[in-house]
Structure 1
Amino acid sequence: MSLSVAAYSFAASPDKVIRSVFEAADDGFDMVKTQNYYSGWVADAIFETLLNYDYLARPAKLVPNTAEAMPVINKDGKTYTFKLKKNIYFAPDPVFGNKKRELTAEDYVYSIKRLADPENRSPSANFIRGKIVGLDAQVRKAKKTGKFDYDAPVAGLQAMDRYTLRIRLNAPDSNFLYVLAYGALAAVSKEAVDAYGNKIGSHPVGTGPYMLEEYVPRSKVVLVANPNYRGFIWDFKSTGSAWDEQLVREMKGKKMPQVGRVEISIIEEEQSRWLSFQEGRIDFDKLPQLAAPVALDGSSLKPDLAEQGIRLYRTTEPEVTYTIFNMKDPVTGGYSKEKIALRRAIAMSYNTQAEISLLRNGQATKAQMIVPPGVVGHDPSYRSSIAYEPELAARLLDYFGYKKGADGYRTMPDGSPLVLKIRTEANASSRVISEIWKRGLDRIGIRAEFEVGNFADNVKDATGCRLMMWGGAWHADYPEGENFMQLLYGPNAGQGNHGCYQSKAFDKLYRQAVKLPPGKARDRLYVQMNRQMEADTAWSVHVSRTRNWLVRPWVMGFKKHPILLSDWQYLDVNK
């Protein structure tokens, strides 16, 4: 369903405050420049895409957002025509000269061109690479001249009039509407980008329900309701669950947003976040995994928490955690048999079940494939060919000439030192994972050094393929397997392919898959791509986490969406 626009009435109250918390730092709010999960969480409240997701519907369902309706699609499946809603305005900002600035189709043309501009080195540019008629030619020209010509027309990207946007694709793409709902394709204004330049990430200006009031990097983010936002009526349909039925009773018919202020603290330590929640200083949060034994009785809250009126919402994230190997690194990289054997042995030394029990407290399942449960393309019968087998891993290393020295640690086949450098973060969870890695690697005789960095900095270094090994997680940007497979696609190296993995076989399968509609044929290709990744051991795949969201009784309307990050505009506060 689409959101019905409220008659103008600024419903958001500054007295209604949501206090949120992030477990890691953002990387600014210019989503063309980053794929940081926490950046996206904030940016999705500031900027708007043409399409969005129904808040309650499961599985995830696309609905119009700034578009009046779902697009008209030509019979050949390659031309999309959108009509924008009128009277959508950017948040007040000096760049507009104290005038209200209306959103137009040209803003989306500019924003998509900006995503493609090679100067921006966007990690999300692959979402549109090769898809829009004429756009790749402009990119190639920009690489030659050193400047992207924003004024040059692109045949497949046209503002037909003030409110009509037409996009023509090179080939039908069943995932393209999902791409248009991704935050990197949200509308930004050229005036703001020109005025703030490289600082646009800390001075975002969008048309969404909130605007940035205060920003202390890696410490605090404060959002306030955008007075120019058009608002909507909360009118979502229940899926029939008891949780949804309560939400509909609480929220139906309200003018949104109700919450006038969002205060976000960055607290990386799990114990500190848990204490803050217990003290009532956080309104809702994922239960830290270390607190599961004291907070949960199976899949239910323990009585002391339930008696406080706290509610529990459980969901398995459409995500996978993994460790990447840098395929360009002189130690872990390369495609020779001995280098593949090294990576495979390393992956076989990691005890995923220890992670699930020691770190996750049972709140996770072992990931068998790149595409997680809840995402189209996941095969529940798939089993990874890489298991926790340290004894076999040790024999594999022996066979390929990684010999042990007098100290018990191995050298490279040429006798040079073998030392793994694993990048990690300064929090309790990362320390547990580092310990699991160390135990496993010690068992097979490989020395490892753990370099501690900040999450946002680690993402930057990983994007540039500068880390030998790094543990990450990928949460679905849209509910289709391509979103995960593109992380290993060769042309995305340095722009989301964090290990610079290059496989002609994998890339060929990927190109075949993206041309197919959803179905068994495409799913079979995803299975083959998984097997190819395992054969090269480009990743060590770990878990999909179960999230237990604890919600204070005064927070109304909460339901964690599998794709949507920003949810403050759907909530109310009643203390």
Structure 2
Amino acid sequence: MKFEMNLKSAWQSFKRNPVHQYKKTVLSSLLIGHLACFTAQTIHAADPGKTIHSYFIASETGFDPVATSDVYSAVINNSIFETLYSYDYLARPLKLVPETAAALPEISADGLTYTIKIKPGIYFSDDPAFNGKKRELTSYDYAYSLKRLVDPALRSPNSWLIEGKFIGLDKVVEQARKTNAFDYKAPIAGIQTPDKYTLVLKMNEKDYNLPMILAHGPTAAVAHEVIDKYKNAQGIAMGHPIGTGPYVLNKWVPSSRIILKASPSYRGFIWDYKSNDFNDRKIIAEMTGKKMPQIDTVDIQIIEEAQSQWLAFKQKQLDWVNLSAGIAGNVIENGELKPEYKKLGMTLSGQPGLSAYYAFWNLKDPVVGGLTTEKIALRRAMAMAFSKEKYRNIVLKGIDTVLRFPIPPNVVGYDESVKSSIPYSVRAANLLLDQYNYKKGADGYRTLPNGKPLTITYSMTSSTANVATAEFWQRSLQEIGIRFKTKTMQFPDYLRAQKQCSVQMGTQGWVADYPDGDNFLQLFYGPNINSSNFNCAQIPEFDALYRKSKTLSAGAERQDLYLKMARILERYTPSISTTTPYTNTVVQPYIQGFKSHPMTSAYWIYIDTNAAKK
């Protein structure tokens, strides 16, 4: 609760006065955050004997920042590529800090022009694409990378981040659609590079979230030489990521194993984070003054099942493990590790997630889609048959938090006072279906109003948790006479099917790209269909309010719009928010510096190992 209130108040303060918050001199900004400690020369402190063993619960899709939108690929991309800004490792509430930028952006008095200086002496990892020469990071790389986000040929799922934002960019995009070729050399008034260390961004309208967007992985810098050398027919380079970050891709067996190695080209930094949190004192004592990164090798496996993850952790084949709902009760008692695990020296790191889970229906689907009253009634009845409390207690073992608002806690725009207008009531759901002529046959199952069979197909991946969720939905819909079947898919295929609007019903989680409610409401914005809008919803009333909200800073007026948008989503029911997770991570005793972070999972950048304890 304390974290939530601090985060909200900090971001609201920032939104009320963004110009003064960001308009700082380069000198004063260099004193803020961890990147003040970066050195111009290469440090390469990684110890060849230090290896981290970690895991993903689902497969990655690839390593081109423009082309990927799943959290697992993002973890790897964040280890290899660098954005202009990032978040302080220890600071709570979250604090935006420079990464490759020399300072936080200078913003013009009208809030429409951002001037960003880039640190000199930052280099890409060595690669044959550079013909044996050291390749320095420049403003041109960021300009190129931003343009790639909206190149129509690349069909980036992240294009929504900057579409319509920069003066003149839309014209170049429109021309590319006509000619089937994006002109990367065409002058764009809204993306300027007056010199190799200066990036100037000119906005069509105010967007108070732009600095946070520039801290999000898809806006990281890639080198055009690398893309030109390794791109596929579509123009993306998924298997050969070369960035300026602390790691390089050493081995990749898709959907099985990923190995990273510390990059000899990385400039390094000195660990010097600060915190007023009493619980951070041990981390600070262990880590302050160390040259980073300390970890040379990162070995990541795909382990879908929670029992397998926990077993591997207990056998020291993994260095930390996030406890699933089914296991947490056996490991944690009264919010602490049970004595037998404490005796082994293990530690518990908890973190309220900046994420939300939704059950959704495809509004382009001929059975459940559309905005007519009988289709809305069908979706609403299914939502009313689903008890969030029972789901939390039975399937999630009481670990996660029921979510009644499309924006989760700890994110600016969340309103804990809001109560959903969709009650849990099997009786009311049945009456609603009866009213709109979804009749029950002799077998007890309903038909469509036209008399044809009604069957809901729920797509999912094959993990135990997803199977349990599907079984709960099946029982819920059986209560209202709706046939239910499942379709199992690999995670990359599931994401692809969502973007193609071919999933009739499913469950999707969204992890904050930046800690503002806008990042969650965009999931329902019509123009984001085929990218982040997995509901395939296009609701004109909602879209108009969303566009208006983008022009406002955090405050009462924007919060009122957020509430109105939430009510519109309830009225049309393209989805229902279900839960928001709380992550409990158990860490091996030999790991130093680990603290759960809401915006990154690439912990190997910030931690160390103690060989004596191992």
1:270 Cα shift? Answer: 1.1
1:100 Cα shift? Answer: 1.3
Matches of 1:318 and 1:5 in 2, distance apart?
A: 28
1:239 Cα shift? Answer: 2.8
Q: Is structure 2 residue 258 aligned with structure 1 residue 218?
A: no
Matches of 1:248 and 1:520 in 2, distance apart?
A: 38
1:241 Cα shift? Answer: 2.7
1:294 aligned residue (319, 330, 339): 330
For residue 237 of structure 1, what is the aligned residue in structure 2?
Answer: 274
1:20 aligned residue (44, 48, 54): 54
What's the secondary structure of 1:59's corresponding residue?
A: coil
Q: Is structure 2 residue 91 aligned with structure 1 residue 57?
A: yes
Q: Deviations over 1:441-483 (max 9, x none)?
A: 1110000110001112101111121110111100111000000
Gaps of 5+ in 2: 1-31
**Matched ranges for 1:404-443 at <5 A:** 404-443=440-479
Q: Is structure 2 residue 243 aligned with structure 1 residue 206?
A: yes
Contact 1:274 1:288 in 2 (8 A): no
1:494 Cα shift? Answer: 1.0
What's the secondary structure of 2:495's corresponding residue?
A: helix
Q: Deviations over 1:111-150 (max 9, x none)?
A: 0000010111111111101111111111111111111111
For residue 375 of structure 1, what is the aligned residue in structure 2?
Answer: 411
Matches of 2:538 and 2:113 in 1, distance apart?
A: 32
Q: Is structure 2 residue 68 aligned with structure 1 residue 29?
A: no
1:176 Cα shift? Answer: 0.6
Contact 1:115 1:122 in 2 (8 A): yes
What's the secondary structure of 1:435's corresponding residue?
A: helix
What's the secondary structure of 2:580's corresponding residue?
A: strand
Q: Is structure 2 residue 394 aligned with structure 1 residue 351?
A: no
1:274 Cα shift? Answer: 1.2
The residue identity in structure 2 corresponding to 1:538 is: P
For residue 94 of structure 1, what is the aligned residue in structure 2?
Answer: 128
Q: Deviations over 1:249-297 (max 9, x none)?
A: 1111111101111111110111111111111111012112211121011
Q: Deviations over 1:316-345 (max 9, x none)?
A: 111110111110100010111110000001
Contact 1:273 1:288 in 2 (8 A): no
**Matched ranges for 1:88-487 at <5 A:** 88-198=122-232, 200-242=237-279, 244-487=280-523
Matches of 1:49 and 1:518 in 2, distance apart?
A: 24
For residue 529 of structure 2, what is the aligned residue in structure 1?
Answer: 493
For residue 505 of structure 1, what is the aligned residue in structure 2?
Answer: 541
Greater mean alpha carbon deviation, residues 206-215 or residues 89-98:
89-98
Matches of 2:226 and 2:193 in 1, distance apart?
A: 20
**Which TM-score applies when normalising by structure 1?**
0.98
Matches of 1:15 and 1:239 in 2, distance apart?
A: 33
What's the secondary structure of 2:124's corresponding residue?
A: coil
Contact 1:488 1:501 in 2 (8 A): yes
Distance 1:206 1:8, change over 3 A: closer
Contact 2:231 2:237 in 1 (8 A): yes
Question: Between the two proteins, what is the percent identity of the paired residues?
Answer: 45
1:358 Cα shift? Answer: 2.3
1:102 Cα shift? Answer: 0.7
Q: Is structure 2 residue 566 aligned with structure 1 residue 534?
A: no
Q: Deviations over 1:407-453 (max 9, x none)?
A: 11100000011011110111110111011001011110000110001
The residue identity in structure 2 corresponding to 1:387 is: P
The residue identity in structure 1 corresponding to 2:120 is: K
Contact 2:167 2:188 in 1 (8 A): yes
What's the secondary structure of 1:113's corresponding residue?
A: helix
Matches of 1:566 and 1:278 in 2, distance apart?
A: 21
1:363 Cα shift? Answer: 0.8
Contact 1:351 1:436 in 2 (8 A): no
The residue identity in structure 1 corresponding to 2:172 is: Q
Matches of 1:520 and 1:535 in 2, distance apart?
A: 23
What's the secondary structure of 1:149's corresponding residue?
A: coil
1:5 aligned residue (38, 41, 46): 38
Matches of 1:421 and 1:85 in 2, distance apart?
A: 52
What's the secondary structure of 1:265's corresponding residue?
A: strand
1:65 Cα shift? Answer: 0.5
Matches of 1:562 and 1:338 in 2, distance apart?
A: 40
What's the secondary structure of 1:444's corresponding residue?
A: coil
The residue identity in structure 2 corresponding to 1:233 is: I
